[in-house]
């Protein structure tokens, strides 16, 4: 007896190969993607404003600071819903996200390998109300005017 092969018509859609989402799950996916777009727009505006603040106060991009902020498209498994609501689920989605930030560039003592050796480094910086905070160059956690930070950075 000859075996019969099941040949699938390439024009025929297979209804059960993909995952079917409930309307509630579809809404969660759409909300996740839309919230991501809103966050990216907010972070992008904030990043541009912070960069302009530094430039307006004498910082030179590439010399005194770097800006690695960028957006990108990723495909990842995400988890939506909540366990307490018993509507939690995982799904693989393609969406836009962001990464990177503004960092100050400077030099510091290398205290780990060769004491008293100066090395180039980047320092984390925070922005708030037209002021900046970088504890590495300030030795404190206060927000100060950008011009004063630039002076401390260059010292």
- Report pLDDT for 6: 44
In a domain, 39, yes or no: yes
**93 token code pair:** 């989605």
- Report pLDDT for 117: 79
* Tens-digit pLDDT string for the chain (155 aa): 444 444 544 555 444 445 688 999 999 999 999 999 999 999 999 999 999 999 999 999 999 999 999 999 999 999 999 888 788 999 999 999 999 999 999 887 776 666 677 778 899 999 999 999 988 888 788 898 998 888 888 77
Q: How many domains does the chain have?
A: 1
Range of the domain at 71: 23-154
Cβ contacts of residue 105 below 8 Å, gap of 6+? Answer: 63, 64, 65, 66, 120, 121, 122, 123
- Report pLDDT for 71: 96
Look up the pTM and report it.
0.76
In a domain, 130, yes or no: yes
**144 token code pair:** 């100060």
- Report pLDDT for 121: 87
In a domain, 12, yes or no: no
In a domain, 52, yes or no: yes
- Report pLDDT for 45: 97
In a domain, 3, yes or no: no
SS3 for the chain, per residue? CCCCCCCCCCCCCCCCCCCCCCHHHHHHHHHHHHHHHHHHHHHHHHHHHHHHHHHHCCCCECCCEEECCEEEEEEEEEEECCCCCCCCEEEEEEEEEEECCEEEEEEEEECCCCCCEEEEEEEECEEECCEEECHHHHCCCCCECHHHHHHHHHC
- Report pLDDT for 4: 44
In a domain, 8, yes or no: no
Are the C-beta atoms of residues 103 and 125 closer than 8 Å to each other?
yes
In a domain, 124, yes or no: yes
In a domain, 62, yes or no: yes
């Amino acid at each position: 007896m000859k075996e019969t092969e099941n040949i699938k018509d390439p024009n025929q859609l297979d209804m059960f190969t993909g995952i079917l989402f409930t309307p509630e799950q579809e809404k969660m996916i759409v909300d996740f993607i839309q919230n991501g777009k809103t966050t990216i727009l907010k972070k992008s505006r904030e990043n541009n404003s912070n960069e302009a603040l530094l430039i307006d106060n004498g910082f030179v991009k590439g010399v005194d600071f770097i800006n690695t902020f960028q957006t990108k498209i990723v495909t990842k498994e995400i988890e939506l819903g909540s366990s307490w609501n018993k509507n939690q689920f995982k799904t693989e989605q393609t969406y836009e996200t962001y990464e990177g930030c503004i960092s100050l560039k400077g030099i510091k003592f290398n205290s780990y390998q060769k004491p008293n050796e100066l090395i180039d480094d980047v320092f984390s910086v925070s922005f708030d109300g037209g002021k900046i905070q970088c504890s590495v160059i300030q030795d404190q956690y206060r927000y100060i005017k950008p011009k004063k930070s630039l002076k401390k950075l260059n010292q």
